[in-house]
Structure 1
Amino acid sequence: MTTRRLATAFSLFQIISLLASTANLIQAPLLSSVVEKTINTGLKHASEPLLESPLYHHQLTLLGMEIRMIIFSATLGTVLGVLLTPAFNYIFTRVIFLFEEAGSIPRLIIILLSPRLLVKTLRKRPRYLGTLRASLPQRPQNIPLTFFMAHTIVTGIWTTGVLSALYAGALLPEYRSTASLLSGVVNGVATILSAMIVDPTAAMITDQALRGIRDQRDIRQMVYYLCLTRVLGTILAQVFFLPAAHLIKETAIIIAAPDR
């Protein structure tokens, strides 16, 4: 189902993206507290320099396992998101039409908070999944593979950026604030890659489909393979995790202690 209301859809998506960013802001302090507990436990029980203590190395191993479980949880969450994509596509389409009726976000929220109107809006079952499966080839056509490869790498960096920075802080306790704040640089690299390769290509394919230059099945292919590469990206984050942490650690040393 298409609405041909690209600007409206993009505007409403920004609200969802803002909510997701807020969730990440809540998650970051929780993860940081785990790292602080690891460092404090090592300081409390170590009878020698912290980084030379076998107990602290054991704590680092446990912390690394916890972070890998968090990344694995991100993979499971992404898979769940992929499975819910057809339903969300239908709901989001209905919300766009409701927004046109409401005329503003506050009125739209009031409509969505009405159980009767919400049931009326969602009572039809989405049929997008069957159409998506029927239109997919075994490999993407008319879409550059570099687009999907870049999306996989960008997702991997985004998934592990903050986590690797926090672990780097545990590897370098005296400069852990510097290491943690370098997560913004790591995610900035991913943002630049996305802005240069992923976003323009996705926008071009979408615009061409709206203008009739491309078949709309290309959009369905793109969505399907973006979902697939997002899952692969969270798996790739497991590979990026430790090398990124050590790279952030060395960068923090250069910034905070250049004479070390």
Structure 2
Amino acid sequence: MISARKKEILLAALLIRAGQVVSRDQLIDELWGDQPPRRAAAALHVYVSQLRDFLRRSDGTRHPIVTRAPGYLLELGEDELDCHAFQRLLNEGRVHARAQRHEEAVVSFEQALAQWRGPALDGLKEGLIVSGFVTWQEELRLECLEMTVASSLAFGRDHELIGFLYSLIVEHPLHEAFYQGLMTALYRAGRRADAMQVYRRACEVLRRELGLEPCRPLRDLHQTILVAEDDFGSHALSMR
């Protein structure tokens, strides 16, 4: 295992930019920020050499890190990273959702979410390459969760969603789309009072944390539930 934190950061940056040349200056910034050591280029060379030994191909003849001006390039070959599989499955789900094939969309979205093993690159987010990638991936995961909820509601998985949405609200207490999804699922399940309680919770959290009122779609959904008859089951989250 690679234990030195600097080598972990270096490997993460090269993996993120796999197939692209990352300059020595970019890697030095990633490793040390605005306080590089006096011999940063030499230290970087040592880290790269150690990574090469760690990543050497099983036949012992070559490694995936190539020196190419003005820096280094990591060649993945036919390997697929979890993040690449996640993005591929997310894109498949988007295509299904736009075509109103919501059951197939949910399968793709859930397979995409299964690629996550925990917080992305936890503890390695100091440099621009890694922190920018982590932010992008977390936004994509949030989009995937939203679209999973929307497509699940579109083909009637209301009861199955309730517990999932309660957990999402705990994880993302300021994300109004999850309150909207939970209110919809609860109402369809015949739990109107619980749906109203979710709205009150959303109002309290948003006012306390941000000093804001709920967004227009959430307020409209609240009003719809207040005045709705038994045919409310046709209401669902809007798709992207």
Asked if TM exceeds 0.5, the reply is no
Higher RCO (CA 8 Å, separation ≥ 6 residues): 1
Q: TM-score, normalised by structure 2?
A: 0.27
Larger strand percent:
2
